[in-house]
Amino acid sequence: MIKLISAIIVFMFLVTSCKKDDVTPPATQYLQVDVIPTYTNGGAMKMNLDSVYTTPEGHQVKFTDVKFYTSTLKNESINLLQSSLFDYRETGGIMLRTSGDYTKFANLQGFIGVDSVLNHSDPSAFPNESPLNISNAGPMHWGWNPGYIFMNIEGKVDTIPDGINNLDHSFSFHIGTDLYRRDFSFTNLNWLKISDSERKLNLKLDLWKFLHNPISSIDLKSEFLTHTASGQQPLTEKVISNFQQSLQPY
Amino acid sequence: MKYALYIFILLGVFLACRKDKVGYKATPYILDIPSHFPDMIIPSDNPMTAEGVELGRFLFYEKKLSGDNSMNCATCHMPQNSFSDPNQYSTGIDGIQGNRQSMALINMGWENFFFWDGGKTTLEKQILEPVINPIEMHESWKNAVKKLDQDMAYRNMFFRAFGEGGIDSTKAAKAIAQFIRTLISGQSKFDVMYKYENSMPLTAAEQSIFQTIDVEEWAGYDIFKSLDGADCFHCHNGPLMRVKKFSNNGLLPNAFNDLGRAHVTNNPEDNYKFKVPTLRNIALTAPYMHDGRFANLDEVIEHYSSGIHMSSTIDPLIEFGSQGGVQLDAQEKYLLKKFLLTLTDNNFVNNPKFKDPH
């Protein structure tokens, strides 16, 4: 009898053993970083793609694309994320979303651009969900040795004083190559509570400051194009350093 | 009593890990993806199977899918033209012409939107369309399915592909989608150039192709991607030779005033934007653009060189638009075309697995 009972117990145990557990796992904490591009002197108003703004010189200007990579995001020895791709048109204001504990990231360091080892790896070999995978990078990878475009700002401007505001001039700034990778280091960050399991950090991308930086302003009339090619160093340098100064915690 | 114990235990083991009951189990199909390509994301409700792909191939070339049994997908997507149509506009079974050029079906498994305006977002959905389109195959799926159902061979093929009896349009679309996902092109000279430039190892076969790439082809590639050359790479780039976007590349609006992407989004900012097509096998897919307005590559090159039409939605990456184009000289045009010809993949066009099985 005892044998039979123990057999039944073993039987019951085995039958249930391959069932899934329905224990609730500990709630994951999510961290999201948003970037809010602005274009007003002082930088209080959000910039929308395709909307027309006016430069201090009185030209009409509109932005059609704002994208950039960050990589090796960490606080000293604590890693947050390998890379992120901000694409204003595709994903709106979200720069990254990942699991993590905000108390560990009161400070945040990383690169604007892609770490040089990652920058020269096979862009098809990253995991499918990685922003560095060529499927997600798309036009942000050059397709040959320079690797990724770290920062891409495109738009149109009316620099011809013909009285017609038809925004008939394009500008495009494509900065890449290891030499132009820049770093950032933000301190005393204010992670806003969205819910018990979610915190958010807002960064500001001040495009007014980017174009009209008081000591190194970009004159769209003559400085409208760089692909980081040889011969374009002065503008390339100016664009990436202005960009670096324009990205700050909100 | 002793035996009861063992029987119980055996029964327990058996019941515990038992799989669900299935009918015919189709054979998983392993795609042959070139090493320098990203993964292809296969929808979880339509896994690739050998039987599914084979059925899809039969259906792709099946004229019963059209109203008068005269037309199949290949009528407008011909294998020798890299699955596009040499006619400017394709003509449907009722003799009515569409107003868009047929698109080459290459590496479709990596696309996220279909048609020149991106109006469909999955291959499975896209495929339902040409059959019922009155200016294409003009047949109801109900009728098409009835015709297939009368054919014992199809009843068997559907059973093997889906593990259950019954034919319907969803299954037909799934099978055709599976076949189309196998139409992978990644063995052109350009692929070897791409791998070389990205420091990826070349196989022995690729090494020997590498030896055949001449200085003019390399020079053409330089022009293709350089800012003071043709400046093409912003939109036609990467292993798939296209970027995922809709763009206005400076064509004059045509007689139909086709608004392209704006048809789908109703956003005037999208006026005259069209899906950026791949340049793979481009030498085989004339005529060119959404309305087939250019008969050959020379006309395309002339467009980008001096024929750009400015408008408020033109892509800023047509960077020399305000001066009419990139202004290539005769030698540069010649070299650029030499490069475009390196994108031809003869293994793809001649692949017996892609041909008509009927």
In a domain, A19, yes or no: no
pLDDT digits (tens, 9 = 90+) for B146-166: 999 999 999 999 999 999 999
Point out the least confidently predicted range of A34-48, A95-109, B115-129: A34-48
Does the pLDDT at position A89 exceed 80?
yes
Q: What is the mean pLDDT of residues A105-112?
A: 97
Nearest by CB to A156, which of B13, B17, B316? B316
A-B CB pairs within 8 A amount to 115
Q: Hey, of B1, B5, B249, B269, which one would you mutate to test binding to chain A, going by the most A CBs within 10 A of its CB?
A: B5
CB contact under 8 A, B198 and A145: yes
Give B321 to chain A, closest Cα distance, Å: 8
The tally of domains found in chain A comes to 1
Residue-by-residue DSSP string for A167-191: --EEEEEEEESGGG-EEEEE-S---
Does the pLDDT at position A134 exceed 70?
yes
pLDDT digits (tens, 9 = 90+) for B37-79: 999 999 999 999 999 999 999 999 999 999 999 999 999 999 9
In a domain, A127, yes or no: yes
In a domain, A7, yes or no: no
Q: What pLDDT shows up at residue B288?
A: 98
In a domain, A42, yes or no: yes
In a domain, A21, yes or no: no
Interchain CB contact of B309 with A (< 8 Å):
no
pLDDT digits (tens, 9 = 90+) for B164-211: 999 999 999 999 999 999 999 999 999 999 999 988 999 999 999 999
Domain membership of residue A53 as a residue range: 29-249
Q: Hey, of A126, A134, A164, which one would you mutate to test binding to chain B, going by the most B CBs within 10 A of its CB?
A: A134
* Interatomic CA distance for residues B206 and B202, integer angstroms: 5
Nearest by CB to B12, which of A10, A64, A124? A10
In a domain, A175, yes or no: yes
Q: What pLDDT shows up at residue A159?
A: 76
Q: Hey, of B200, B237, B261, B270, which one would you mutate to test binding to chain A, going by the most A CBs within 10 A of its CB?
A: B237
The H-assigned helical ranges of chain B are 2-16, 50-60, 73-76, 123-132, 141-149, 152-162, 169-181, 189-197, 204-212, 215-225, 262-265, 297-306, 330-341, 346-349
Q: What pLDDT shows up at residue B91?
A: 84
Q: What pLDDT shows up at residue A143?
A: 83
pLDDT digits (tens, 9 = 90+) for A207-217: 999 999 989 99
Q: What pLDDT shows up at residue A1?
A: 55
3-class DSSP state for residue B172? helix
User: What are the structure tokens assigned to B155, written together?
Assistant: 């009843």
pLDDT digits (tens, 9 = 90+) for B98-127: 899 999 999 999 999 999 999 999 999 999
- At A144, is the pLDDT very low, low, confident or very high (cuts 50, 70, 90)? confident
Please state the pTM of the whole predicted model. Answer: 0.88
CB contact under 8 A, B199 and A8: no
Q: What is the mean pLDDT of residues B242-259?
A: 94
Does the pLDDT at position B142 exceed 90?
yes
In a domain, A161, yes or no: yes
Does the pLDDT at position A38 exceed 80?
yes
Give B215 to chain A, closest Cα distance, Å: 18
* A143 chain-B contacts, CB cut-off 8 A: 194, 197-198, 225, 233, 237-239
pLDDT digits (tens, 9 = 90+) for B304-358: 999 999 988 999 999 888 889 999 999 999 999 999 999 999 999 999 999 999 9
Nearest by CB to A145, which of B41, B197, B310? B197
Give A190 to chain B, closest Cα distance, Å: 36
- At A15, is the pLDDT very low, low, confident or very high (cuts 50, 70, 90)? low
In a domain, A190, yes or no: yes
* Interatomic CA distance for residues A47 and A49, integer angstroms: 7
List the domains of chain B with CATH numbers.
50-184+348-354 (1.10.760.10), 189-342 (1.10.760.10)
Pick the more confident residue, A21 or B278.
Answer: B278
Contacts of A110 (CB under 8 A, 6+ apart): A70, A71, A72, A73, A74, A80, A183, A184
Q: What pLDDT shows up at residue A167?
A: 76
Give A135 to chain B, closest Cα distance, Å: 6
